[in-house]
Amino acid sequence: MPAPYNRVAIYARYSSDNQSEASIEDQLRLCKERASKEEWTLIDCYSDRAISGASLMRSGIQSLIADALTGKFDIILAEALDRLSRDQEDIAGIYKRMEFAGVKIITLSEGEINQLHVGLKGTMNALFLKDLADKTRRGLRGRVEAGKSGGGNSYGYDVIKSFDDNGKALTGDRKINKAEAQIIRRIFTDFADGKSPRHIAHALNKEDIPGPRARSWTGSTIRGHHKRGTGILNNELYMGKLVWNKLQYRKDPDTGKRVSRLNPKSDWIIKNVPDLKFIDQKLWDRVKVRQGEIRIKYKDQIDAIHESQRNNRLNNTHRHKHLLSGLLTCGTCGGRYSIICQNRYGCFNHSHRGNCPQNRSIMRTEIEERVLSGLKDKLLHPDVVHQMIKHMQEEANRLQREKHQSYDFKQNELVKVEKQIDRIVMSIANGTDIPSMHDLLFKLEDQKQALKDFLDKEPPKLPDLHPGLADVYRGKVIHLTEALNSPDTIAEASGAIRALIDKIIISVSNQGNTEIALHGELDALLHFMTTTEDQKTAENKGFQNAKSRPSSKEGRLYCVRGCGGWI
């Protein structure tokens, strides 16, 4: 097995429970001192600031892992193992991947990490997180029992900032915001009188009345979820009743996002806070009666939606429902285009917030057909084909250079190791015989043999590009859109199409035509053309120098990334 080399990368992190910018610099300084003492070559430093170690959804740690797997360095150095992660599963996964890549993990606290550290320290870090969460909940419950806030603040109230006699900040106190309370009374009254949450939101936005967190109003902000107690119309605090522990939050191990779940009613903590009441019982009851009538009226439709969501929960997490879902953007307000009714796309801000004048909608089938037709014509343009082949050739050459550089590096390392062995042998021959010299000699001999084994193999030569690559490319583009009609290939084809598009901007011209601006990336195109999983894609480049006039009078497809040409 090859002996370790001395290229090191340093990782530092501080979490939200230790808000200190200096913490990163202190960790980096200590690690750099250790690297200098060991005569390691510092390759790069990675860090994550004010991010919990309970998840790997951190840009710094993700970059560190990605670079380690490409062989950029041989050692990861950190202050302690919990800087990399506090989660048992995550730290075990990091260790497994680094062991596979031949990268050692060394920390200032624990030394070189092995399986024992991963098991014991991973368990200790997980217990620390659980203990911290339990202590936090105990503290919050104590505040709720005293009638104070258990975290966060509701629209309609202001946080009171005060201090005790010793100068310590007092938390959890709040008071009624009279202006916001008046808006809430208006919402309750309008809803009780028969107006829908969407129409109420439209009216508030037209009057430029800011909603919660200074955002625009939407129907869902007002309507919420009656069982979970979310939304303006379901907030019992407006009635002077503080309800805590209604929901529990757990972190999804796959996405790192918090997911809420409803707790049993027996676990709820309810306290009366009459000082915070500003909705009278009669108005509250009128709202509850109308909400009940709506649930009865639309019960069948709601049950059908919930049943569909349960049956397709796994599919919904992996696949977009429609080909262009999430890619369409309104050219007027910058908001998203979404399905508004009967398979028609429309501006979300216009239909749900009423604060965008763009009222043009478009059939889903029509926009998909136009985008696919324009995309195919664009990708078959001679300049794009030439550009694709050029970048693939550049990437192949770059990979070949990296292979040769690695080969040259190992040759230089072999020369250094042989010189070290010669010096030790000469010292022993001259009478300097220390037991530790023998141990070092054995290690150097192992390292020498590993280097020779590597150098005995010629540097792998990447295959030349196929002379008919352009024809292969054209064939793939033509068959890509056709594959959308086949049930066997539709999922793969949809993913390939979406990979070619960053976003699609929909706007209306002065002549009343619907214009569609398509933003795409050539690196996604190269990835689509790759035939082996381990071949890397070229650097991001736009579709360049491809210009032709539009032929459709109904609307136009326009590629604005790097070319400025109609298609």
DSSP 484: G
> For residue 543, what pLDDT band results from cuts at 50, 70 and 90?
very low
Q: How confident is the model at residue 317 (pLDDT cuts 50, 70, 90)?
A: very low
User: Tokens 């107006």, residue?
Assistant: 195
pLDDT in the model for residue 567 = 33
pLDDT in tens, 202-234: 899 989 999 998 888 988 899 988 778 889 999
Q: What is the DSSP pairing of strand 362-363 with strand 501-508?
A: unpaired
Pairing of strands 565-566, 555-559: antiparallel
Residue, of 77 and 255, whose pLDDT is higher: 77
In degrees, to the nearest 5, what angle opens at C-alpha 251 toward C-alphas 249 and 255?
Answer: 140
Instruction: Collapse the DSSP code of 86 into the 3-class scheme (helix H, G, I; strand E, B; otherwise coil) and give the result.
Output: coil
Beta strand pairing status for 241-244 and 269-272? antiparallel
The angle that helices 522-529 and 490-499 make with each other, rounded to 10 degrees, is 150
For residue range 12-35, list pLDDT tens digits in order: 988 765 455 567 888 899 999 999
Q: For 135-161, give the DSSP string.
A: HHHHHHHHHHHTT--SSS--TTEEEPP
Residue 238 to residue 284: CA distance in whole angstroms: 9
CB 200 within 8 A of CB 187: yes
How much is the average pLDDT of 114-134?
Answer: 71
- Which residue(s) pair with 105 in the sheet? 76
Strands 344-347 and 337-341, bridge-based pairing: antiparallel
Domain boundaries, the chain: 7-130, 174-303, 321-396+470-567, 397-456
What are the helix and strand counts (H, E) for the chain?
18, 21
Is 525 exposed, middle or buried, given 0-12, 13-18 or 19+ CB atoms closer than 10 A?
A: buried
- Is the pLDDT reported for residue 466 higher than 70? no
pLDDT value of residue 541:
36
In this predicted structure, what is the pLDDT of residue 46?
Answer: 94
Q: How confident is the model at residue 430 (pLDDT cuts 50, 70, 90)?
A: confident
- CATH 1.10.10.10 for domain 174-303, yes or no, is no
Q: Among residues 188, 26, 9, 40, which one has the least CA distance to residue 103?
A: 9
Nearest to 124 by CA among 79, 82, 93, 90: 82
Residue closest to 212 by CA, chosen among 263, 264, 153, 167: 153
pTM more than 0.75: no
d(CA 85, CA 26): 18
Contacts of 59-68 spanning 24+ positions with Cβ under 8 A? 60/11, 60/13, 61/11, 61/13, 61/85, 61/94, 64/9, 64/11, 65/94, 65/97, 67/9, 68/9, 68/97, 68/98, 68/101, 68/103
Q: Which pLDDT belongs to residue 490?
A: 59
Where residue 422 falls among pLDDT bands split at 50, 70, 90? Answer: confident
CATH class of 7-130: alpha beta
pLDDT at 45 (0 to 100): 94
pLDDT at 530 over 50: no
pLDDT of residue 77 exceeding 90, the answer is yes
Helix (H), strand (E) at residue 363: strand 362-363
Q: Of 373-387, 426-440, 497-511, which gets the smallest average pLDDT?
A: 373-387
